[in-house]
Amino acid sequence: MNDKGKIIAGIIIFFAMVTSPFWYNMFMEKTPPPKVVLTAKAQAAEKCVRDTKYMKANHMQLLDEWRDTVVRKAERIYVNAEGKEFTMSLTKTCLDCHSNYTEFCERCHQYASIEPHCWDCHINNPKENN
């Protein structure tokens, strides 16, 4: 029982280290979330395939469903709740409006430290390449 002081000090240091990210976030300045830029065409359309909140949170799930539906079910038309129809194509539909890859897709992905594989095959932006 002679090491009581050491043990308690150790426990305190351990907890300080484990909780350090919380302290860091509490006292340090936060990196502001990035602002994505909408192209004139995207602004004019006002609404994406689904509402903005859904798209922000779930666009990856939507794209996953799209790719499975197109490749595996051979269905290529998406009808949203309002009855508006879209061709399920990343290049032809999504990037037709969001033709500013660096200011739209990349900004958020970089902030969230995500590297999607989409662009390994899909041509990231027909308009930038033209």
Partner 1 sequence: MEDSRRQFLKIAGVAALGMGTVPVVKAVAASGGHGPQPHTRKGDDALSATQWGLVIDTTKMNHELVEHIVEACHKTHNVPAITADKVGEKTAIAHEIKWIWETHYHHAFTDKHSNYMSEDVEERPFLVLCNHCEEPPCTQACPTEATFKRPDGIVIMDFHRCIGCRFCMAACPYGSRSFNFRDPRPFIEETNLAFPTRSKGVVEKCNFCAERLAVGQAPACVEASEGAIVFGDLEDPNSEIREVLREHYTIRRKVTLGTGPAVYYII
Q: Which of the residues 37 through 56 are near partner 1 (CB under 8 A)?
A: 50
Cβ 61 to partner 1 shortest distance, Å: 12
Does residue 102 contact residue 34 with C-beta atoms inside 8 Å? no
Distance between CA 5 and CA 19 in Å, rounded? 21
Distance between CA 130 and CA 44 in Å, rounded? 23
Cβ 49 to partner 1 shortest distance, Å: 8
Distance between CA 30 and CA 26 in Å, rounded? 9
**Interaction between residue 117 and partner 1 (CB under 8 A):** yes
In the block, tokens 């969001």 appear at 98
- Which of 69, 93, 106, 107 binds partner 1 (CB under 8 A)? It is 69
Distance between CA 111 and CA 35 in Å, rounded? 10
Binding range to partner 1, per CB under 8 A, among 11-19, 33-41, 99-107, 119-127: 119-127
Looking at the Cβ atoms of 19 and 87, the one nearer to partner 1 is 87
- Which of 17, 44, 79, 114 binds partner 1 (CB under 8 A)? It is 79
Distance between CA 123 and CA 32 in Å, rounded? 30
Q: Contact positions toward partner 1, by CB under 8 A?
A: 50, 67, 69, 71-83, 87-88, 91-92, 117, 120-123, 126, 129-130
